[in-house]
Structure 1
Amino acid sequence: MKNILTPRLPRQRLTLAQLLPALFLCLLALLFAPAPAQAQSCFIGTTTAINFGTVSPDANTDTQSSLSYTCQSNASTTYFRVCMYIPEGSPLSGINPRRMTNYNGAEMAYNLYSDAARTQIIGPPPGGGGFPLYTFTVVVPGGYTQQQNTAQIYGRVPSGQSLPAGNTFQSQISGGTLAWGWSNTTYPPDCNGGGSAVTGNTTFYQGVSASVSNACRITLATDLDFGNAGALSSNRDQASTIMVRCPTGTNWRLGLSNGVNPNGTVRRMRSATGNYVTYELYRDSARTQRWGNTLGTDTSSGMGVGEGSPVSQTVYGRVPAQAAAPTGAYSDTITVTLTY
C-alpha cells in the first residue's frame, strides 16, 4: 500500500496595502471605459399653453402653440418619422369639436389642427382616430448628435357661439403623444414599427383656456324710408330694423339721437335747399313712446340671449301731417348708441 501525497501550494496572504493598488487599477479601468451610447430616441423639451385670449363672437378666434422636441442619432445618420397625437380634453370629452367648460354648465367649442389653414384636426392615438395623421420627418447626423425641432399646433374657436359674458373657459389635455420610428437607411413609413423601423413614444400635457368678452354689437340698422309724398295732409308711417347681438345674460340699452337737423327735441329732415320736414321715431307701433337717448327714460332695453340669437328692435317712424314742403329729397342721420 502506497501513500500518495498531493502537493499543496503554500497559502499566501495579501495585506490591505497589497490590495489597494489592485483595486485602484480596477477603478481606473472603469473610470476610463468607453461610455455606452444612448438609445436613438426623441424627447420633449417644452410645450406652450394654448390660450385663445378673449374670444370674438363675430369671427373665428385663432391662436398658435408649439411643442419643442429633440431627436438623437446613433453612430450613423439616423432618419426619424415623428407623429403627434392629441386626445380629447377633460372634463368634457369629444374631438370634433373639442370643448372647454366654464365649470358652470356652459361649453365652448374649439379644435386643434396640424395646418395653418385649420383644416386637419389632430386626432388621438392610436392611429389618429380616423383623422389625418400629423407626421413630420427629421434627419440627424451620425455621431450620437442631437437636433432640436419645433412642431406647431394651430387652435381655433369658431364664431357664432352662445356664451355667457365675462367667463373663463378651460380644458385639460393629458396624454398627448409624440411617437417616432427610426432607421439608419431611410425614413420609416410610419411611427408604429412599419418596415425595419424601431419605435418609441413620449407623452405631454396641454392646458387650453379662453375668456368671453361682454361686448355687444349692432349688427344691422336699416334705413327708414318714408317714400314719395305729394301732400303731407295726413300721417305717413314706416318702420326700420336694428339688430343687437350680445352675450348671454348681458343687459343692454339702445338709444337714438335727435339727428343732425333738430329744432330743440323735434327731429327734422332737411333738403339740399334748406327746407325741412318734421318727423318722429317711436319704440311702439302705436307711436306713443318717443325713442330718445336718455338711459332709463326713453331708450329701448333688453338682455343678450347669445351669439346665435340676435335681438331685433323695430323703429317706428312717422311723418305727421304738416304744411306742404317744397319739392326735393329730404334726409336726416340718426346716431344709434348701444350701452351695456
Structure 2
Amino acid sequence: MIAICRLILMTVTLWLLAATAARADNCVATMTDVDFGVVSPIAGSDVTASGTLTVTCYWTVGTNPLLLPAANVCVNLGVGPGGGTGAPRYLLNGSNRMAFNLYTDSSYTAAKIWGSTASTIGARPINGTLVGLLGLGGVTQSFTVYGKIPAASLVGVATVGNADTLYGASFAGHGTVQYGFGSVPCTGGASAAFSFQARATAVNNCLISTSNLAFASGSPITDQRISAPLSVACTANSTYQIALNGGVSNNPGARTMKNSVTGETLGYRISSTPDGAAWGDGTASTTVYSGTGTGSAQNVMMYGIVPRQRAPTPGDYRDTVTVLLMF
C-alpha cells in the first residue's frame, strides 16, 4: 500500500513540472508582407503600402502575482538584404535595386523609419506596453507599418527585358521582438525572431509627347529644313520603337501636305537623322526608330525637309501624322 502512494505522488509531481514549463512568460511577433503591387518607374509619383505587425505576450497562470501583468516590448527591424545603412532599404532583383523604406507612421519622415534599439541612423523600434488580464493568460496588440517607394528612387529602375519584373526583400533574420515583464525594460529581457517580405512589380511602361514640324513661309523652289523633338520616357533597360504613318498620302515614303482649299499637295520628308532614310512604319523603304529606355525623358529628333519642287498655288499646306510607340 505504501508503494502505490509513492507512485501516485511521483506522477502528480511530473505533471506539475510539465505544465509549468509549457506556460513560460514570453512574447512573439508576426508581420504580414508589405506588397506595393504593380509600380510604374516613370509615373513620377510615390508608391505606398502597409503591413500589420502583431505582438502577443503570454503570462504564466498561477505563478504571476499581478492581476494585470504588463510586458514592455521593442520590435526591431534590421537593414534587410540590400545592404547599406537602412536609409534607404532596397528591394532586389538580381543586381538591380529599388529603394524603399518602412515607417512607424504615415508621415514617412526619416525620424520615423522603423529600425532597432541598436540603430546608427536615428531609426527607432516599435515600442509598446501590453497590459493583460492574468486570467486570460495573454494579450495581443497590432501596429500598422507604413511603406513608401519615393518617386525619385523609381527613376532608373529596370525591368528584365520588356517583361514585368518582381523586386523583393526577405526580412527573415532581420526582425526581432525584445520583451521584459513588469519593471524590466524590453532591452533587459528576452527576444524572439520573426520574418516577412516586401515586394513590388516594376512594369514596362512608356510615355510620349509630340511637337509640330512647322515649316516657315517660303517658296518650294529651294530646300526648306526644320527639326522638332518627340519626348519619350520608357522604363530603364526596356526597348521601344516609334513608327510614323503615311499621313494624308497614306505612303510614308512619299509624304505630302495638302491645301484644303485647292486640293493641291506639296511633297516633304521626315527622317530621324539629317538627310537620313525616310522615317515611317517600315513600308515603302522607310525605317522605324528604335531606342532603349533610361527611366527619364529622351528627346528623339524629327528632321523635316521640303525639297525643291514645282511651286503649287500659294496657301496653307498641312499633313497630320500619327505616331505609334511600341514597347
Measured against the shorter chain, the TM-score band is: 0.7 to 0.9
Contact persistence 2:42–2:206 (CA under 8 A)? no
Question: Could you tell me which residue of structure 1 aligns to residue 102 of structure 2?
Answer: 112
Contact persistence 1:101–1:107 (CA under 8 A)? yes
Separation in structure 1 between the aligned mates of residue 191 and residue 16 of structure 2, nearest angstrom: 33
Contact persistence 1:233–1:324 (CA under 8 A)? no
Residue 203 of structure 1 aligns with an amino acid whose one-letter code is A
RMSD: 3.8
Q: SS of the residue aligned with 1:130?
A: coil
Listed one character per residue, the Cα deviations across residues 286-330 of structure 1 (whole Å, up to 9, x for unaligned) are 2x42110128951112334x325x44310112345532343x5x6
Q: SS of the residue aligned with 2:174?
A: strand
Question: Could you tell me which residue of structure 2 aligns to residue 5 of structure 1?
Answer: none
Aligned length: 305
Question: Could you tell me which residue of structure 1 aligns to residue 143 of structure 2?
Answer: 151
Contact persistence 1:52–1:63 (CA under 8 A)? yes
Where in structure 2 are the equivalents of 1:3-82 lying within 5 Å? 17-21=1-5, 23-24=7-8, 27=11, 38=23, 40-44=25-29, 46-59=30-43, 60-72=46-58, 75-82=66-73
Contact persistence 2:244–2:321 (CA under 8 A)? yes
Q: TM-score, normalised by structure 1?
A: 0.71
Question: Could you tell me which residue of structure 2 aligns to residue 239 of structure 1?
Answer: 227
Moved more, 311-320 or 161-170: 161-170
Measured at CA, do residues 137 and 300 of structure 1 come closer, stay the same or move farther in structure 2, by a change above 3 Å? Answer: same
Measured at CA, do residues 230 and 91 of structure 1 come closer, stay the same or move farther in structure 2, by a change above 3 Å? Answer: closer
Question: Could you tell me which residue of structure 1 aligns to residue 177 of structure 2?
Answer: 178
Which 5+ residue runs of structure 1 have no aligned equivalent?
1-16, 194-198
Moved more, 175-184 or 93-102: 175-184
Residue 229 of structure 2 aligns with an amino acid whose one-letter code is T
Measured at CA, do residues 254 and 127 of structure 1 come closer, stay the same or move farther in structure 2, by a change above 3 Å? Answer: closer
Measured at CA, do residues 204 and 255 of structure 1 come closer, stay the same or move farther in structure 2, by a change above 3 Å? Answer: same
Contact persistence 2:96–2:157 (CA under 8 A)? no
Q: SS of the residue aligned with 2:312?
A: coil
Measured at CA, do residues 233 and 108 of structure 1 come closer, stay the same or move farther in structure 2, by a change above 3 Å? Answer: same
Question: Could you tell me which residue of structure 2 aligns to residue 284 of structure 1?
Answer: 273
Separation in structure 1 between the aligned mates of residue 289 and residue 274 of structure 2, nearest angstrom: 14
Contact persistence 2:57–2:139 (CA under 8 A)? yes
Residue 239 of structure 1, CA deviation: 1.4
Q: SS of the residue aligned with 1:143?
A: helix
Equivalent residue in structure 2 for 1:313, among 300, 303, 318: 300
| Structure with max Cα Rg | 1
Report whether the alignment pairs 1:206 with 2:196: yes
Listed one character per residue, the Cα deviations across residues 119-178 of structure 1 (whole Å, up to 9, x for unaligned) are 332123425742244334544334344233333333333320242424544433313122
Listed one character per residue, the Cα deviations across residues 72-131 of structure 1 (whole Å, up to 9, x for unaligned) are 46642244554322111236343112234433x433323222223433321234257422
Residue 331 of structure 1, CA deviation: 4.8
Q: SS of the residue aligned with 2:78?
A: coil
Report whether the alignment pairs 1:338 with 2:322: no
Residue 240 of structure 1, CA deviation: 1.4
Q: SS of the residue aligned with 1:244?
A: strand
Where in structure 2 are the equivalents of 1:243-322 lying within 5 Å? 243-259=231-247, 261-262=248-249, 264-265=251-252, 266-269=254-257, 278=266, 279-286=268-275, 288-294=276-282, 297-304=286-293, 306-308=294-296, 310-320=297-307, 322=311
Measured at CA, do residues 27 and 82 of structure 1 come closer, stay the same or move farther in structure 2, by a change above 3 Å? Answer: closer
Separation in structure 1 between the aligned mates of residue 28 and residue 117 of structure 2, nearest angstrom: 17
Q: TM-score, normalised by structure 2?
A: 0.73
Question: Could you tell me which residue of structure 2 aligns to residue 160 of structure 1?
Answer: 155
Residue 263 of structure 1, CA deviation: 5.4
Residue 63 of structure 1 aligns with an amino acid whose one-letter code is A
Question: Could you tell me which residue of structure 2 aligns to residue 8 of structure 1?
Answer: none
Question: Could you tell me which residue of structure 2 aligns to residue 102 of structure 1?
Answer: 93
Which 5+ residue runs of structure 2 have no aligned equivalent?
none
Equivalent residue in structure 1 for 2:83, among 79, 92, 97: 92
Separation in structure 2 between the aligned mates of residue 41 and residue 331 of structure 1, nearest angstrom: 79
Separation in structure 2 between the aligned mates of residue 47 and residue 111 of structure 1, nearest angstrom: 15
Measured at CA, do residues 318 and 142 of structure 1 come closer, stay the same or move farther in structure 2, by a change above 3 Å? Answer: same
Contact persistence 2:245–2:251 (CA under 8 A)? no
Residue 211 of structure 1, CA deviation: 4.4
Residue 299 of structure 2 aligns with an amino acid whose one-letter code is S
Contact persistence 1:92–1:101 (CA under 8 A)? no
Residue 301 of structure 2 aligns with an amino acid whose one-letter code is T
Measured at CA, do residues 275 and 146 of structure 1 come closer, stay the same or move farther in structure 2, by a change above 3 Å? Answer: farther
Residue 114 of structure 1 aligns with an amino acid whose one-letter code is T
Residue 87 of structure 2 aligns with an amino acid whose one-letter code is N
